[in-house]
């Protein structure tokens, strides 16, 4: 499994509009490992040129809702990686929720 170079971020506290239950969205991202592709532009004269800004490949991404550990999005992570990340969230979800509450409390200072 390649669980290195993964970035994890999380939201503040959200509340489900139907149930009122608090939840946090946790996002995992990892570079896909693909090399950037060169962007080719064909001008009005029919000549092909390569731009200096290569097209960045899409990163692997996963978004999970806690505390339920419901996987909302998985693009590029395999099933074993998904299970390992969900297991991590089950073990550390309370701490992440506490940090999200602190973020949400801080946001209220600015009127959000």
Q: What is the pLDDT of residues 36-80, one digit of tens each?
A: 556 666 666 666 556 555 555 668 999 999 999 999 999 999 999
Q: What is the pLDDT of residues 6-37, one digit of tens each?
A: 999 999 999 999 999 999 999 999 987 766 55
Task: Dump the DSSP string for 1-38.
Answer: ---SS-EEEE---EE-TTT--EEEEEEEEE---PPPBP
Alpha-carbon distance of 47 to 44, in angstroms, equals 8
Q: What pLDDT score was predicted for residue 31?
A: 85
E strand or H helix at 40, and its extent?
strand 40-42
* DSSP 8-class letter at 55: B
Q: What pLDDT score was predicted for residue 27?
A: 96
Categorize the per-residue pLDDT at 5 as very low, low, confident or very high, splitting at 50, 70 and 90. Answer: confident
Statement: residue 110 has pLDDT above 90:
no
Statement: residue 4 has pLDDT above 60:
yes
């Amino acid at each position: 499994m390649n669980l290195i170079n993964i970035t994890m971020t999380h939201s503040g506290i959200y509340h489900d509009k139907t149930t009122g239950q608090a939840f946090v969205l946790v996002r995992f991202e990892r570079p896909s490992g693909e090399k950037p592709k060169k962007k080719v532009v064909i001008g009005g004269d029919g000549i092909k040129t390569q731009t200096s800004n290569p097209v960045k490949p899409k990163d692997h991404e996963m978004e999970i809702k806690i505390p339920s550990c419901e996987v909302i999005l998985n693009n590029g992570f395999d099933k074993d990686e998904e299970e390992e990340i969900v297991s991590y969230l089950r073990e550390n979800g309370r701490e992440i929720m506490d940090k999200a509450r602190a973020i949400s409390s801080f946001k209220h200072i600015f009127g959000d």
